[in-house]
Amino acid sequence: MKLLEFKDVSLTYEKTEALKNINFSVYEGELVAIVGPSGCGKTSILSLISGLLKETAGEIIKKDSLKTAYMLQKDSLLEWRTVFDNAKIGLEVISPASRLIKNKKKENLFYINSLLETYGLGEFKNKFPNELSGGMRQRVALIRTLAVKPEILLLDEPFSALDYQTRLVVTSDIVKILRKEKKTAVMITHDISEAISIASRVIVLSKRPGSILKNIELNFKENDPLKRREEALFKQYFNEVWNSIEVKYE
């Protein structure tokens, strides 16, 4: 099922053209990674999907009542709240006029509890963020995002604050969670290897104004990010993405 579609979408900030003639779709169950040089409009695409920004030209067609949730670069956990209380923040901030009462029902809190148990945080649910490792904090941030039951997760460089080794492990953990929960996600990253290791498709943007240079379907045997890096296809895809970005600078 198609969840959203960008049709000839452009975006201009004051007199600066950020995006130009963007065309792509996102289908249920996909994990789409967007890469490109700094300042090319990657984050702007997430803001357009979430509704934080409005396109200047073109059209964004969304499935009716499409629910999105945003996961930022930093975990942004509140240090004075427990892991469980951090995970349920999304349910508390939804407007009372819409879903607040529904989201406070016992089944929603049970869902958070089950996520914490399933993904290795059950024994830490009454701990505070400063008692967790960087990888565990990031899992809490993801569970907080999943708690509102979005149809699309928007991931804004969610692993960039981690050291390299932790980043590899956490990337693998997060991908397993997304696939097990059957979630659709759009992620932006500067890391080409990271994008190829986790995504079902990679979209390559040009320098500003961002336009799509490549829309690459990835056909790996493995879904695990670490195992993908060992496949011969990994290097081929890396070169395809890298050369697409470099061509724009010539």
C-alpha distance from residue 226 to each of 92, 151, 168, 218, 243 (Å): 36, 26, 7, 15, 23
Q: Which residues contact 167 (CB under 8 A, 6 or more apart)?
A: 159, 194
pLDDT, averaged across the chain: 88
Q: Which two tokens stand for residue 38?
A: 């700094």
Please tell me the predicted confidence (pLDDT) of residue 101. Answer: 53
Task: Indicate whether 57 and 98 sit together in one domain.
Answer: no
83 part of a folded domain: yes
175 part of a folded domain: no
Task: Indicate whether 51 and 157 sit together in one domain.
Answer: yes
CATH number of the domain that residue 202 is part of:
3.40.50.300
157 part of a folded domain: yes
Identify the residue whose tokens are 């997430």.
46
Contacts 24+ apart (CB under 8 A), 11-16: 11/41, 11/44, 11/48, 11/53, 11/55, 11/56, 12/56, 16/208
Alpha-carbon gap, residue 166 to 160, rounded angstroms: 10
Task: Indicate whether 110 and 206 sit together in one domain.
Answer: no
Task: Indicate whether 80 and 146 sit together in one domain.
Answer: yes
Task: Indicate whether 96 and 15 sit together in one domain.
Answer: no
> Span 159-172, mean pLDDT?
81
- For residue 246, pLDDT beyond 60: no
Note down the domain range covering 33: 1-66+151-167+185-222+231-250
173 part of a folded domain: no
Task: Indicate whether 26 and 80 sit together in one domain.
Answer: no
**Cα–Cα nearest to 177, from 223, 131, 222:** 223
Please tell me the predicted confidence (pLDDT) of residue 194. Answer: 93
Q: What angle do CA 189, 195, 200 make, to 5 degrees?
A: 130
pLDDT tens string 89-132: 887 765 454 555 554 567 778 889 999 998 889 999 999 999 99
172 part of a folded domain: no
Please tell me the predicted confidence (pLDDT) of residue 248. Answer: 45
pLDDT tens string 18-30: 999 999 999 999 9
Please tell me the predicted confidence (pLDDT) of residue 237. Answer: 96
Task: Indicate whether 14 and 133 sit together in one domain.
Answer: no
Q: Which residues contact 205 (CB under 8 A, 6 or more apart)?
A: 34, 35, 36, 37, 40, 41, 42, 211, 212, 213
C-alpha distance from residue 111 to each of 13, 87, 214 (Å): 40, 11, 38
Please tell me the predicted confidence (pLDDT) of residue 241. Answer: 94
Q: Look at 63 and 46; give whichever has higher pLDDT.
A: 46
Alpha-carbon gap, residue 134 to 160, rounded angstroms: 11
Identify the residue whose tokens are 């006029």.
97
Q: Look at 74 and 6; give whichever has higher pLDDT.
A: 6
Q: Which two tokens stand for residue 186?
A: 């759009």
Q: What angle do CA 110, 114, 119 make, to 5 degrees?
A: 155
Alpha-carbon gap, residue 76 to 158, rounded angstroms: 11
CA 83 from centre of chain = 21
140 part of a folded domain: yes
174 part of a folded domain: no
End residue of a domain, out of 97, 124, 150? 150
Identify the residue whose tokens are 């695990």.
224
Task: Indicate whether 81 and 119 sit together in one domain.
Answer: yes
Task: Indicate whether 83 and 137 sit together in one domain.
Answer: yes
Task: Indicate whether 54 and 81 sit together in one domain.
Answer: no
**Number of separate domains in the chain:** 2
pTM of structure? 0.88
pLDDT interval class at 250 (50, 70, 90) = very low
Task: Indicate whether 14 and 130 sit together in one domain.
Answer: no
Task: Indicate whether 51 and 92 sit together in one domain.
Answer: no
176 part of a folded domain: no
